[in-house]
Amino acid sequence: MERGRVAVFLDGLDEMPEAARAPALQALSEQATFRLVLLSRTAELADSARRHTLTSAVAVELRPLAAAEAARYLLRPFTDRPPRAWRDLADTLTDQPDSPLAQALTSPLRVTLVRDVYGSSAAPGPVDELMDTDRFRDVDAISRHLLEHTVPAAYTSRPGRPPAPYTVDTARRTLTHIARCLRAQDDNRDLTWWTVASWLPAWRRIALSVLGGMLLSGLVFGTAGLLLSGFQTWPGVWFRSTYWFALILGAPASLAVALAFNLTQRRRGVVTAAASGVGVSLVLGLVLGGWALSVSTFGLTFAVAYGVTARNRGAAAMKSLNVGRGLTSARRVRSAVLLGLAFGLADGAFGTVAYLVRGVHDLSTALGFGLNGLLACLLIVTPVLWSTGAFVDDPASASTHPADPVQSWRGDFRLWSVVGVASGVISGINAGLAYQAPVYGFGGEGIGTLADVLVGGVCHGLVIGVILGRAWMTTVTQVWFAVRYRTPPRLMRFLEDSRERHLLRAVGSTYQFRHATFQDHLADS
């Protein structure tokens, strides 16, 4: 730093909004006291420089790859004498610089594709077939041929390596679908897992989320009920209990998350969406006899989901668990107290209403119940949020370990599971103390109040936590893709496998195709 030997490389000026490019050059001119290398496409940089020049800068334009360099790169992997086909290819590059092949291999992308495609066991033929001017009359023909065989080369098993987990057809079909979806989003080049659900129509997102939430809620509560009762509730009581929780809890919670996601995509209709969600939840509750639980579940879930997605539009998961670091940070303590207070107020308000509806018309008793919920959240949820580092609004400079896509996915799930379970246990215990009787009632007549509220609270919180996580909408979307387009059910695992095979790359928590040309080829195919 003292000797000025630090160099900063900035890429993507051309990917910034047009109105921001010239101000960026002005800011760099004023602030850059170090060696700076700014990377951009030429036309965008030239247009921005007409409005503001990067002071004292030297413009350096990359030239096409020289034929000799391309030949040396292609022959480098061979420790002994290269095979005849590769030697003929290298000779053509140097001896016939005007040939279609030599012109095509002035691009680093196409040079690396030649080695990837013809260096694999899935090679379409000997590499010197590229010299056939009848088949490959121009650069475009060679480029299309190489791009067409990129996926087979990556997903064909090779000696000494484990077999590919996906077939070539599955990989090509999935990558093509992703490329088309990104093109439909204004030729987007960034694949972020938390926006995958935006590839579906709004009504389909809602339907899939509700169905998935009902299935998840019924499965969690049904399994817990069977285990808690020692399978004594099978089958009649079990089916009724599973059906009840799926509709009263799973449906309103998943409806709330889907509506919140749709609103943050369009940025309008908050009141209309909230009112419609409350109406649907109210109808479900009145029909089944649990309207207070149904409406309160929707209200609390909608408020939290909308706040999270609106605040973090275009960002990664809010926060991963961060146990044991920065416990004395004032920012961390403040965020835990404020969020614990918010949970407590919501739980207390809805709890008071539910208590009154339950038949206790004494307002002071109902308010006491709500106050218990508020105090319980402050005393238990707040320490959980503080110890895990959930929702700490750290400045960007505080993060020295940027999460990759898989880490951000797992962090989102862990965070919301912990927060949801903690909140659910508090809600269950509070209700048990108020009613002095089993609250959830899914374990049979022989189950005590404490076991009922603890197990029920864990189930309740786990369902809400999973549904509130930003991975939820992506999960139900990838299930639909697997059914409709025969893509892998676990999309994140496929994306990570494609990254390891150099078809995708990861930039922080965002995936991108290996090259924009490759993405465009798939979208057109």
Q: For 440-451, how does the pLDDT look when each residue is reduced to its tens digit (9 = 90+)?
A: 766 556 667 777
pTM attached to this predicted model: 0.79
Lowest mean pLDDT among 154-168, 216-230, 303-317, 469-483: 303-317
* Res 316 pLDDT > 60: no
Q: Are 405 and 474 in contact (CB under 8 A)?
A: no
CA distance 225 to 456: 9
* Res 105 pLDDT > 90: yes
pLDDT in tens, 230-271: 666 667 666 777 777 888 888 888 888 888 887 777 656 667
Model confidence band, residue 331 (pLDDT cutoffs 50, 70, 90): confident
Model confidence band, residue 523 (pLDDT cutoffs 50, 70, 90): very high
pLDDT of residue 26: 92
pLDDT in tens, 356-365: 766 656 777 7
Q: For residue 408, count other CB atoms closer than 10 A to its CB.
A: 25
Asked if the bond preceding 235 is cis, omega within 30° of 0, the reply is yes
pLDDT of residue 480: 93
pLDDT in tens, 118-146: 987 778 888 989 999 899 999 999 999 99
pLDDT in tens, 9-34: 998 888 888 888 999 999 999 988 88
Q: From residue 523, how far is each of 44, 181, 502 by CA, in Å?
A: 24, 8, 18
- DSSP three-state, residue 89: helix
End-to-end CA, the chain: 50
Q: Which two tokens stand for residue 431?
A: 């209700």
Q: What is the CA radius of gyration of the chain?
A: 29
The helix (H) or strand (E) run that includes residue 513 is strand 510-513
CA distance 66 to 69: 5
Taking the domains of the chain in order of start, what are their residue ranges?
Answer: 1-62, 67-164
Average pLDDT over residues 320-331: 61
Q: Specify the amino acid at residue 222.
A: G
Lowest mean pLDDT among 182-191, 213-222, 277-286: 277-286
Average pLDDT over residues 108-115: 93
Length of the chain in terms of residues written: 525
Q: Are 426 and 380 in contact (CB under 8 A)?
A: yes
pLDDT of residue 415: 76
Percent of the chain's residues with pLDDT above 90: 29
pLDDT in tens, 264-302: 776 566 677 777 777 777 787 777 776 667 776 777 677
pLDDT of residue 508: 78
Q: Are 155 and 501 in contact (CB under 8 A)?
A: yes
- DSSP three-state, residue 194: helix
pLDDT of residue 311: 52
pLDDT of residue 513: 94
Q: Specify the amino acid at residue 475.
A: T
pLDDT of residue 446: 62
Q: What is the DSSP string of 333-394?
A: HHHHHHHHHHHHHHHHHHHHHHHHHTT---HHHHHHHHHHHHHHIIIIIHHHHHHHTTT---
pLDDT in tens, 87-100: 999 999 998 888 99
